[in-house]
Structure 1
Amino acid sequence: MSGTETRLAVAIVGGLHADARRTAVREILRTVPGSVALHHDLSSAADGAVRRTVRDGRGLLGAGDAPLVNDCACCALREDLVPELLRLADGGGHRLAVVELWDSVEPQAVAAVIAAEGEPLKLTGVATAVDPALLVPCLTDGDDLAEAGLAAAPRDQRTIADTFARQLEYPTVIAVFEGGAADRPSDDGDHALLAQLTPGARRVRTSEAALGPALLVGFDVAAAAARQHPACALLPQECDEHGVSTVVWRRERPFHPGRLYAALEDLTCAAARSRGRFWLADRPDTLLSWDAAGGALCVESAGPWMAALPAAAWEMVPAERRVAASLDWHPRHGDRRQHLTFTSPGLDRDGLLTLLDSCLLTDAEYAAGPDGWRKLPRAFDELLDPVA
């Protein structure tokens, strides 16, 4: 069963909005002949097992329990999923296997597992199902998944907002649900927010017959990972529509670490979602990532800037990153720059830009050069170099 024509197409459909996700999967099963859906329900993990179901458009085909692995529901999913997909492939008769993820499972890790298996499986699409009316409530919800009963492991420390943001930004298809799962129907502002947050994805209504075919065109795991990497991420573009704005802030000067640290709370709360990359004057060789949702900010090192690498190391860097660096190249700083995006209804554009600009080095501070910058207060040591 090694020929390309005998490979089983596999598509992933995920998302925190369960009604939207189930509707999307149901529509795919109805419109794509030979399709079957697998779902691992992690809500029963506290009882020591993960419940697996397999169904097609006519109903349930089978069910079983997958034992926990290392007390981790997601590990159980990974251990059980591929064997089930291989069983379906070996049995023949199926054109498409839809992997319906449980609420808080993120598609990126599952996509990597399926793609790594290779033949006879072929990952052909990844979608997140979304109810637009629930966008703002989810993106502004800073509660831990555990508090909502959605944790995928005992030590799962993710929040609803950051999990939902990653579910939105990874796939190439957004399945848009109009079933009224929220207390109110979605409006133009909700759809504008969705469009601005997912610039590289195709948006298809869950009621459209085109949803299934959209998940059969193919999916490049390496390219998807590159779109998420802070150095070359596909970030939203400048926009202002239906009361929803995206501000793209790009500057060449480094941040003053002390002034930026003092402004973190205001900047984090300025928008429902903000992302990007930046550099600090006292850490000129470190590319830093900015990831904020639900009133919480994650700042992490994403490795060195390209300009800080020896020329011989450039060939070992993915092509997408080399291209991104060349587009941003500055004769003095190389690819070092500030590139942050803020997306939200009711965004205070002028106030945000003023605050961001105030955190940059002044003319006098900038003139001191890298030797002087390294003497500035190291305000981010606790965030970036925590003591174990």
Structure 2
Amino acid sequence: MAKVETDVDVVAVTGTCVEERRSCARRLAAAHGFVLVPAEQTAEGVEVVDRAISLVRMTAHAQGMVLEYPVETPVMEIVGALNAAGAGANLVDLVCVLDVGHLLADIASEEYVCLTAMNDGGEGGILAAKAELLVSQIEFASTIAIVNAAGLQPEEFEQVAAVVSHLAPSADQRLITDSDDVHGDVRRPFSERPPDAGWVSILNREFRPQFHSRGVVACRYEQLRPFHPGRLHRALTSCLFQGHCGRLVRSAGFVRLATRPHITGQWDQVGGFFTLSPLMLDHRLGADDEFLAFGQDLAFIGIDIDEPSLRRVLDDAALSDAELAAGPTVWAGFPDRFPDWSTARM
């Protein structure tokens, strides 16, 4: 009897360390009786993945699939492709294999990789920071498979586990202690429990990390006044990113610059990488839409953050009473060293 084609259960496996990721994917496939599609194949693009899914759907005895992805494939593209209408896939788990022995060094790394875009046959040609790709994998993961923890002292492991938990508070952390260990059972579909990044949970006042450690800090900064772009640029380059307020691992949220009125900007920082980009135009909000932020709404995650100093530095970058009263005509003349924003497609 021919098999009825139903959506196939899929476990997606990501990670920046090739050997550890490959080993975890193989063990998961063997433990659950799933078909393994290695990173060398998924790197070839979405059409290759789609064909593999179609073949498994037609196979009578196939239980599911493990799709291993290279670091060069952005995790948002993985989730988008597997959750797309008609994909034939039921994403049940998104596993990030994490080598905690050098996690903090990886986040601080300035290395770039060339992306493989899933929708163009694997010919990406776009450079991306490896640290940003890694943190995205952690934030999107429903399961964190922790490997190579044996070399860490207890207090070091506690700190790293807390950092991971702050980045991805809803993800399950599984410690892989030997070559035969598997991260755990396949659980309910990913779509029924999409993970919240730590910074999103902080802004939504829903932040409940599973692990804590002395020195690992999360905080929220709110300020109704726009930033003076010149002073904000100086605060970033001469203070915040020099470690004067502690080690910033991750920060993200929404900002307003006085020189760019009526635009909500996206603040996005991982390690030494920072971008400020346009996100929403006020006049294009619908009747039922809400402002993402009236001023500044930012989440910070880091180690030994001096929260009072951080708030003082950011407050000093906001408009003074006199500047606020002067209005947009005067604001337009403020020095602004941030890259220009293109809003044509917003």
Is contact 2:254–2:264 with CA below 8 Å preserved after alignment?
yes
Call closer, same or farther: CA 1:87–1:262 in 2, change over 3 Å. Answer: same
User: How do 1:169-248 and structure 2 match up within 5 A?
Assistant: 169-178=139-148, 180=150, 187-206=157-176, 211-214=184-187, 217-220=188-191, 233-235=200-202, 237=207, 241-248=213-220
User: How do 1:79-158 and structure 2 match up within 5 A?
Assistant: 79-116=47-84, 118=86, 120-145=88-113, 155-158=125-128
Is contact 1:135–1:194 with CA below 8 Å preserved after alignment?
no
* 1:336 is aligned to 2:307: no
* 1:276 is aligned to 2:261: no
Choose from 307, 320, 323 the match for 1:365: 323
Is contact 2:3–2:60 with CA below 8 Å preserved after alignment?
no
User: Equivalents in 1 of 2:314, 2:128: separation in Å?
Assistant: 27
Letter in 2 for 1:357: D
User: Equivalents in 2 of 1:191, 1:118: separation in Å?
Assistant: 37
Superposition RMSD in Å: 3.3
User: How do 1:10-21 and structure 2 match up within 5 A?
Assistant: 10-21=10-21
Cα distance, 1:87 vs. partner? Answer: 0.7
* Structure 2 length-normalised TM: 0.80
* Structure 1 length-normalised TM: 0.72
User: Equivalents in 1 of 2:216, 2:223: separation in Å?
Assistant: 23
* 1:267 is aligned to 2:266: no
Cα distance, 1:379 vs. partner? Answer: 0.2
Cα distance, 1:235 vs. partner? Answer: 4.4
- Aligned-residue identity in percent: 21
Q: Tell me what 2:117 maps to.
A: none
User: Equivalents in 1 of 2:326, 2:186: separation in Å?
Assistant: 58
Q: Tell me what 1:40 maps to.
A: 39
Is contact 1:139–1:273 with CA below 8 Å preserved after alignment?
no
Call closer, same or farther: CA 1:274–1:268 in 2, change over 3 Å. Answer: farther
Call closer, same or farther: CA 1:166–1:104 in 2, change over 3 Å. Answer: same
* SS of corresponding position for 1:130: strand
* SS of corresponding position for 2:52: helix
Call closer, same or farther: CA 1:165–1:373 in 2, change over 3 Å. Answer: farther
Q: Tell me what 1:31 maps to.
A: 31
Is contact 2:278–2:342 with CA below 8 Å preserved after alignment?
no
Cα offsets for 1:45-77 (capped at 9, x unmatched): xxxxxxx3xxxxxxxxxxxxx9xxxxxxx5x22
Stretch of structure 1 that moved more, 296-305 or 266-275: 266-275
Is contact 1:250–1:340 with CA below 8 Å preserved after alignment?
yes
Cα offsets for 1:75-109 (capped at 9, x unmatched): x2222111012111111212220111113322220
* 1:256 is aligned to 2:241: no
Letter in 2 for 1:379: D
Letter in 2 for 1:249: Y
User: Equivalents in 1 of 2:183, 2:249: separation in Å?
Assistant: 30
Cα offsets for 1:263-319 (capped at 9, x unmatched): 2223344412221111112223111111112312111111224xx445xx245x6xx
Question: Would you say how many aligned residue pairs link Structure 1 and Structure 2?
Answer: 320
Structure (1/2) with the larger helix percentage: 1
Cα offsets for 1:130-172 (capped at 9, x unmatched): 12232201110012226xxxxx857331122111111111222
* SS of corresponding position for 1:211: coil
User: Equivalents in 1 of 2:56, 2:183: separation in Å?
Assistant: 24
User: Equivalents in 2 of 1:120, 1:383: separation in Å?
Assistant: 41
Cα offsets for 1:104-143 (capped at 9, x unmatched): 3222202212222536432222121112232201110012
Cα distance, 1:191 vs. partner? Answer: 0.9
Call closer, same or farther: CA 1:97–1:121 in 2, change over 3 Å. Answer: same
User: Equivalents in 2 of 1:14, 1:98: separation in Å?
Assistant: 11
